[in-house]
């Protein structure tokens, strides 16, 4: 990981390679200590779709949810190194599984734009 601070924003450049057969995923984590951290995939490009957990507004990774005890980011009680960084690495593992199974296997709160009608 390569870390720097620019204009009060922590910028972390990271790489994740979940398996020997996986591509290297390059990502950028930004954090200003005022808003939750944001993680963007730099390469390879991952297109948004309702099944994978990314935010449609900017394709940042969806790693936490305010209404879940297990998936919450709280800057008062968490550090990047024991939440966001491992959650980011884990996201890529589940993305690889999604590419195999077609289903998002990680526990999540459904936030799809196009909810399934039953």
Angstrom distance (rounded) from CA 12 to CA 42: 12
Residue 42 within any structural domain of the chain? yes
Mean of all residue pLDDT scores within the chain: 85
List pLDDT tens digits, range 56-108.
889 999 887 655 555 566 666 778 888 899 999 999 999 999 999 999 887 65
pLDDT over threshold 60, residue 118? no
As a whole number of angstroms, the distance between CA 61 and CA 52 comes to 9
Nearest to 54 by CA among 116, 114, 112, 117: 112
Structural domain range at position 62: 2-101
Residue 9 lies in a domain: yes
Q: Is 75 exposed, middle or buried (0-12, 13-18, 19+ CB in 10 A)?
A: middle
Percent of the chain exceeding pLDDT 90 equals 53
**How many domains would you assign to the chain?**
1
């Amino acid at each position: 990981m390569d870390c720097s601070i620019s204009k009060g924003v922590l910028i972390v450049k990271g790489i994740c390679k979940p398996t020997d057969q996986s591509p290297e995923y390059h990502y950028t984590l930004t954090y200003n200590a005022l808003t939750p951290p944001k993680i963007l995939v730099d390469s390879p490009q991952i297109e948004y779709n309702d099944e994978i957990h990314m935010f449609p507004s900017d394709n940042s990774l969806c790693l936490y949810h305010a209404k879940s005890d297990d998936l919450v980011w709280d800057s008062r009680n968490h550090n990047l190194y024991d939440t966001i960084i491992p959650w980011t690495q884990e996201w890529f593992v589940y993305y690889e599984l999604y590419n195999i199974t077609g289903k998002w296997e990680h526990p999540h709160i459904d936030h799809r734009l196009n909810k399934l009608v039953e």
